Structure 1
Amino acid sequence: MESRILDNLLSFLLTFMFPLKMLLRAYSLCILMIDIAWVVVNAICAIFQSTYELFKPPPLKSVQMETALIIGSGRGVGRELAIQLASLGAIVICVDKNQGNNQDTVDFIKHKGGSAIGFVCDVIRRENIDNLATKIKKELGFVSMLFYCCGIPSPRSLLTKPPQDIHETLDLALTSYYWLIDRFMPDMKAKNHGHIVALTSVAGLSYIKDQIPLSVAQFAVQGLAESLMEDLRMNKIDGVHVTLIHIYPFIVSDDNTDLRLRIPSYFGTTTSSEAAASILDSVRRSRAEASVPKRLLGLARLLRVLPRRATALLRDLLDTGVDFA
């Protein structure tokens, strides 16, 4: 008798649980379909928005009274970034290990009526960075913009200098940059205001012959920038921006006329002044990624999605190297 009652009870429970499981599965499937539809719709909207911004870019934000820290301001694109930021009303902190070059940049900015202060620092050592950050915060307070312009070689140095040691290259291009971000980004997060700018050379998109350490370092800088973007997104911090700039193919000075590119009519070369103006345009529009020249950003994205063989053929065609005429 008891066995029959137990069997009837189990039969009832199984009869009741079966439709319940079916309902739960149906509910889960509906939620999944809604999530997929939401992702697809938003992805399509993002594509349309990106296409729209090609023809009508976002407005330029003001950098007036922003405090911009430029690492590597003694020469090249770092110097031009400092000068142009100062002309836009920013308070520029110039940092370079070459005291003479750095002071020339500061003096030039002040002569033009801008606001600048210089610090001499070899950022390859962490204790130097810690001391620099302490001085800057004590004397100037909050740093709202960080530009790191170290670790990007000129085309001439790529051809005339031997490959660097992997530790030295990574320390200069990546590790020092990480330490700087670690010292200044927490304040940006706390205020929900700031901008980190990461510069990578062509080596961050494609291998350069006999320059494996450089390529590794530049790929790593790209990964660091993308990790920072995800960190900000996951923590729902929308007032701090990260801009990744691919300097492609090369930034050269006006007097370097002995360089020969495979397709000079399309790639060409650009001056440091023109490159800095292009970088600041992308930064002031809060773009997540840009390139110098701008038209080659699509190439960087294309190389990420094509099959390996196709990217190899494309790199052979474009030939990212340079020769002396």
Structure 2
Amino acid sequence: MDVLSVLLHFIFPIKMLLRLYSFCILMVDVAWVVFNAICATFQAAYELFRPPPLKTVRLETAMVIGSGRGVGRQIAMQLADLGAIVLCIDINHQNNEDTVDHIKLRGGSAASYICDVTRREKIEELAAQIKKDVGFVSMLFYCCGIPSPRSLMTQPPQDIHKTLDLTLTSYFWLIDNFLPEMKTRDHGHIVALTSVAGLSYIKDKMPLSVAQFAVQGLAESLMEDLRINKIDNVHVTLIHIYPFIVNDEYHDVKLRIPSYFGTISPVEAASSILDSVRRNYPEASVPKHLLCLGHLLRILPRRATVLIRDLLDTGVDFA
């Protein structure tokens, strides 16, 4: 018994010391996290006034899916103006050819590919053809699934499978075909465009809202995958586009608070998107101030977010 008492006398202090050591390590880790979180917050505030420098896209091979109209067309044209080699992908042959012709008339480099991205086998054929024609694709812009203002108001509820295939599932197939080489080379940029349905539910458009909420999850999962695997030079940018803001061919849209929302052209929207991409922002919106609203809606209580959504509801009407 005396020997056991002596052993216990030594063991208990050792256990206490180990617990104290573990507690100290935990406190150091917590302090380090808090310190870095504060630094990141100050850095984000600083970058509001002094944004990161714009990276060049000259001679990058950029694939733009949905280049036949609207914002996708303008992104393709502006990328070409910046010196990128643009691969225009669309299901509409004539619209896509028009985009390529405009780029070439302006002295840019572009090629046209026709593909139904809702079919996996077509995407695999497209990927094989592009790798054969041009090799490595370093930038991927997915502009499909962004609805027009009128379609949001006048079209019947979407077919669930078609909406998910166009808005979400095709992302996975494209990523499967083009991301591995970006990882191998540690170079690339994937740009996911969603509508505001990815921030807030749109009346009578549940399949679209669900799909675009999922696109946000996909983009954030991609960012985490790249971070965990220590791939620093492949970037992901998630862009939220407010459809009623981009005044393309619909000039008769009326907004409840025009001084807050206003409208911009597809040219301005594309320029804003490329500005965010070239600064490697992980998330942005068109217009830019709506991103802050989206973050605010995530942290406020449910009742408060409902009141804000009711206040800022577009109140869309067509003249």
User: Which structure has the greater CA radius of gyration?
Assistant: 1
Q: Across the two proteins, how many residue pairs are aligned to each other?
A: 319
Task: Report the counterpart of residue 239 of structure 2 in structure 1.
Answer: 245
Q: Secondary structure at the match of 2:44?
A: helix
Deviations 1:279-315 (A, max 9, x none): 0000000001111011221101101111111101110
Task: Report the counterpart of residue 275 of structure 2 in structure 1.
Answer: 281
1:176 equivalent to 2:170? Answer: yes
- Contact 1:189 1:237 survives alignment (8 Å): yes
Equivalent residues in 2 for 1:128-139 (5 A)? 128-139=122-133
Structure 1: state its 5+ residue gaps.
1-6
Task: Report the counterpart of residue 108 of structure 2 in structure 1.
Answer: 114
1:144 equivalent to 2:133? Answer: no
Aligned mates of 1:249, 1:45 — CA distance in 2: 35
Q: What percent identity do the matched residue pairs reach?
A: 74
Q: Secondary structure at the match of 1:246?
A: strand
Alignment RMSD (CA, Å): 1.0
Aligned mates of 2:300, 2:175 — CA distance in 1: 32
TM-score of the superposition, structure 2-length normalised? 0.98
Amino acid at match of 1:99: H
Equivalent residues in 2 for 1:40-79 (5 A)? 40-79=34-73
Task: Report the counterpart of residue 222 of structure 2 in structure 1.
Answer: 228
Amino acid at match of 2:239: I
Q: Secondary structure at the match of 2:284?
A: strand
Q: Secondary structure at the match of 2:237?
A: strand
Deviations 1:177-224 (A, max 9, x none): 111011101111111100000111011111111110010011000110
Aligned mates of 1:139, 1:165 — CA distance in 2: 35
- Contact 2:244 2:253 survives alignment (8 Å): no
Aligned mates of 1:255, 1:76 — CA distance in 2: 9
Aligned mates of 2:154, 2:254 — CA distance in 1: 15
Task: Report the counterpart of residue 127 of structure 1 in structure 2.
Answer: 121
Task: Report the counterpart of residue 208 of structure 2 in structure 1.
Answer: 214
Deviations 1:129-165 (A, max 9, x none): 0000000011100000000000110110111110111
Structure 2: state its 5+ residue gaps.
none
Amino acid at match of 2:225: D
Q: Which runs of 4+ in 1 moved over 4 A?
A: none
1:8 equivalent to 2:2? Answer: yes
2:85 to 81, 91, 99: 91
Aligned mates of 1:181, 1:262 — CA distance in 2: 39
Deviation at 1:248, TM superposition (A): 2.1
Aligned mates of 2:23, 2:113 — CA distance in 1: 60
TM-score of the superposition, structure 1-length normalised? 0.96
Amino acid at match of 1:181: I
Aligned mates of 1:321, 1:141 — CA distance in 2: 47
1:155 equivalent to 2:149? Answer: yes
| Alpha-carbon distance change, 301 to 249 in structure 1, aligned in 2, over 3 angstroms | farther
